[in-house]
Amino acid sequence: MTAVGRPTRDGATIGAVLARLRPEFPDVTISKIRFLEAEGLVSPERTAAGYRRFSDADVARLRFVLAAQRDHYLPLKVIRERLDSGAALPAAPRAAPADRLGRDEVVAHTGVAPALLAELEQYGLVRPDDNGSYDPDGVQIVRIAAALGGYGLEPRHLRAFRAAADRELGLLEQVVAPLYRQRDQRRAAEQARELTGLSVGLHTLLVKSGLRRVTGQ
C-alpha cells in the first residue's frame, strides 16, 4: 500500500527534488521550486490527485536555473530564453567556502577587470584583509557588482547599498553583541544566522515592493 498523500506514478515528488538539489544549492526551498514553476521555468506533470511529478529533465532544468542565478545573476527572462534555445551557460569557477583569494585570483574567478575591483575597494563594497585576500562573500560581491554593471550601475552608484548594509548591521549588532559579551558563542551564532536571513528577506521584499510601484506590476 502506498503512503497517503504521495504520488503512485513514476516521477520524483517535490520533496525528493528538494533533497537532490540541496547539497549543491543549500538555500533552495519548496517555495522557490514552486515559484520557478509558476514562472514557467519548469513544468512537472501532475497525478490525477494533483501531485507534482518531476522527471530527471525537470530536475536538470531546475539545476540550470539555480546555477544561472547563483553564478551569473541572470534575470529569469534571460534564463528562460537560454533554456528554450538549448544554450549552455559558461562555467563559473567558484571558491570553496573556506577559501580566501588574492587579488589576481579574484580577477580570474570573476572575470572582472582589475580596475573594477579597485573601484569596488575605493567605494567600500569589498574590503581585503591585511594580507590583501578576499573571503568568499567578497568574491560574490564582486560578481554581483559586475552583473549590475551590465545595467549601467557603476561602483560609485553602489555606495548606497554599502551605507544601507552598515545601518542594518548597526541595528542587528545591538541584538547579537550582548550574547557575545556573555560568551554564549553558539547562541550568538544562531541568532546572527537567523537575523541575517530575516534582514535579507525584509530588504528584498522592500526593494521588490518599491519596484512594483515603479513598474506598475
pLDDT 10s digits, 193-205? 888 888 888 888 8
pLDDT the model gives residue 110: 81
* Dist CA 158 CA 205 (whole Å): 19
Q: Is the pLDDT of residue 86 over 90?
A: no
What pLDDT is stored for residue 159 in this prediction? 92
Determine phi and psi for 12, rounding to 5 degrees.
-90, 140
pTM for the whole thing? 0.55
Q: pLDDT band at residue 7, thresholds of 50, 70 and 90?
A: very low
Q: Which CATH architecture has domain 14-85?
A: Orthogonal Bundle (1.10)
pLDDT for 4 equals: 39
Alpha-helix runs per DSSP H in 22-92: 30-38, 56-67, 76-85
pLDDT band at 87 (very low <50, low <70, confident <90, very high): low
Asked if 14-85 and 93-153 have one fold, the answer is yes
Mean pLDDT of 9-18: 85
| Whether the predicted pLDDT of 157 surpasses 50 | yes
pLDDT tens for residues 103-151?
A: 998 888 888 899 999 999 999 999 999 888 998 889 889 988 888 888 8
How many angstroms separate the CA atoms of 57 and 7, rounded? 18
| Segment 24-82, tens digit of pLDDT | 888 889 989 999 999 899 999 999 888 999 999 999 999 999 988 887 777 788 888 88
The rounded distance, in Å, linking the Cα atoms of 27 and 21 is 9
Give the pLDDT confidence score for residue 44 in this predicted structure.
94
Mean per-residue pLDDT, 73-100: 69
The C-alpha cell that represents 39 in the structure block: 514562472
- With bands split at pLDDT 50, 70 and 90, how would you rate the model's confidence at 89? low
93-153: CATH architecture: Orthogonal Bundle (1.10)
DSSP calls for 190-204: HHHHHHHHHHHHHHH
Q: Give residue limits of the domains in the chain.
A: 14-85, 93-153, 159-217
Q: Do residues 191 and 176 make contact, with C-beta atoms less than 8 angstroms apart?
A: yes
